[in-house]
Amino acid sequence: MSMLKSSVGRKLTMAVTGAILVLFILGHVLGNMSIFVGPEGINAYAVHLRDLGPLLWVVRLVMLVVFVLHVWFGIQLTLENRAARPVDYQQKKNLVTTFAAKTMIVSGLVLLAFVIYHVLHFTLHVGVDNVDQLAKAYMGEHFDVYTMVVTGFGKAINVLVYVAAMILLFFHVSHGFQSFLQTLGLSNECVQPKYQAVGKFLALVVSIGFISIPVLIMVGIVKL
Amino acid sequence: MSEKTMNLTLYVWRQANAKAPGKMERYEAKGISPDMSFLEMLDVTNEQLIKQGIEPIVFDHDCREGICGMCSQVINGVPHGPEELVTVCQLHMRRFNDGDTIFIEPWRSKAFPIEKDLMVDRGAFDRIMQAYGYTSITCGGAPDANDHPIPKWQLDRAMDAAECIGCGACVAACPNASGMLFTAAKVAHLNMLPQGKPEGARRVKAMIAAHDLEGFGNCTNHYECEAACPKGVKTAFISYLNKELIKALPKGAQD
């Protein structure tokens, strides 16, 4: 299995882990949409998730392994790629590559920082006001996610961080989607432009879905 | 034939040997005909440099028919210059204007050490070919046409991959200095044909391993290689290479 450590082997790992992460964020954004139903929407969704019990921890563990692999190989491959051209061109014109493709490591590292911030913020409740009160606020026994999110996005700095991160997510996924299909050997010159278009569309839908929450809270459409 | 000639300013990478540091030097190229090829322009410039007592610019060339792939020059930031689907000998000075400034650099990759000025050592490609860029069966004499029952489209596809002349423009253009388009083209043109298919799994593993060993970067799907390729080899072959590796992964060394 040493071929899994080859350049193409690690590229396959990047593609498969990336696809799992995209599936996760698709589920995440769909789940988040329950906030537009109102407090009982997202709070019931949160209770259902917690009711999964051990299964929730299995999913969390798998996601952690997938995430660490994706980040680790991403950094490793980027360092190798930089080392492959020790003396740079005085002049170099790129003809077809995209902004998204060129900045994968930047968008990736910022998203890594964001994910850590996001888990600290909404999962571990670091910096959330009145955690003790929220803990039993939903139906007298469950955590009130709705109030936490709405008050959290009352702060402009949080809105800014989340919106900026989701714009980067758009670029990351828009390159990642077509890259995944190319890497799995499912691409050719006829379908490649279509993959790129579908990837952009998917990335746009996901990022707009995520961004809609802080923005609609900020403008006061979603409120306590 | 145009009588008008051009004067150009050239910035050329000068480097004494693989270990020495290099730098861009400025030269004037005078009396260049628009009908000259880019290599002929360099020939004329070198004559002018010799008269000035300057060491001529070393550049690689062989066939000057667009098929040998020796001319490892990045011209104004693009491998083989601004003309699509050609090598440097097929790029003509009519693509430039009088008074233009032209930057000329060698391929830049750890796997292609610069021997001198614009001449690089593409031996890394030879070693990828030595790894499994062949079929080990004895083929005998040239087979008769249509001897092998193979669909026309499949033959054409293999021939599209076989167009690769091993010039290294894919490596030069790649933001990661990856040689994946070359490796993919060579794997594809053999694995797609009946003669190469039986050893397909071994071949794809051996050639990828050899590619990695040479210090090329990894492919991250920028597709710059395809845009720079003088023979129009498509990145679809890289997708094919990836698929061949996926199929080969569960197989043992004897398959």
Q: How far apart are CA A161 and CA A152, in angstroms?
A: 12
Q: What is the set of domains in chain B, with CATH numbers?
A: 6-105 (3.10.20.30), 122-254 (1.10.1060.10)
ipTM strictly over 0.90? yes
Q: What is the set of domains in chain A, with CATH numbers?
A: 2-87+97-218 (1.20.1300.10)
Q: How confident is the model at residue B143 (pLDDT cuts 50, 70, 90)?
A: confident
Please name the residues in contact with A38: beta carbons below 8 A apart, sequence gap of 6 or more: A146
Give residue B146's pLDDT: 80
Q: Which of the residues B103, B242, B251, B255 would you substitute to probe the A interface, choosing the one with the greatest number of A C-beta atoms within 10 Å? A: B242
* Joined tokens for residue B21: 């540091």
B236: amino acid identity, one letter: A
Q: How far apart are CA B96 and CA A123, in angstroms?
A: 61
* Joined tokens for residue A152: 């959290």
Task: Divide the 224 residues of chain A into consecutive groups of 10 and give the mean pLDDT of each group.
Answer: 89 98 98 96 95 95 98 98 98 97 98 98 92 91 95 95 98 98 97 97 98 96 92
Judge whether B223 is closer than 8 Å to chain A, CB to CB.
Answer: yes
Q: Which of the residues A4, A95, A173 would you substitute to probe the B interface, choosing the one with the greatest number of B C-beta atoms within 10 Å? A: A95
Q: How confident is the model at residue B145 (pLDDT cuts 50, 70, 90)?
A: confident
Give residue B198's pLDDT: 92
Give the position of tokens 């397909």.
Answer: B200
* Joined tokens for residue B210: 């050899």
Chain B: nearest CA to A110, how far in angstroms? 19
Q: How do the residues of chain B divide into helix, strand and coil, expressed in percent and rounded to 5?
A: 35, 15, 45
Closest CA to A175 of A163, A164, A185, A183: A183
Contacts of B22 in chain A (CB under 8 A): 87
* Joined tokens for residue A197: 């278009």
Q: How confident is the model at residue B255 (pLDDT cuts 50, 70, 90)?
A: low
Please name the residues in contact with B126: beta carbons below 8 A apart, sequence gap of 6 or more: none
Closest CA to B221 of A182, A81, A107: A182
Give the position of tokens 């830049």.
Answer: B108
Closest CA to A69 of A103, A29, A108: A108
SS3 assignment, position B102: strand
Q: How far apart are CA A123 and CA B162, in angstroms?
A: 55
DSSP A58: H
Q: How far apart are CA A133 and CA A151, in angstroms?
A: 13
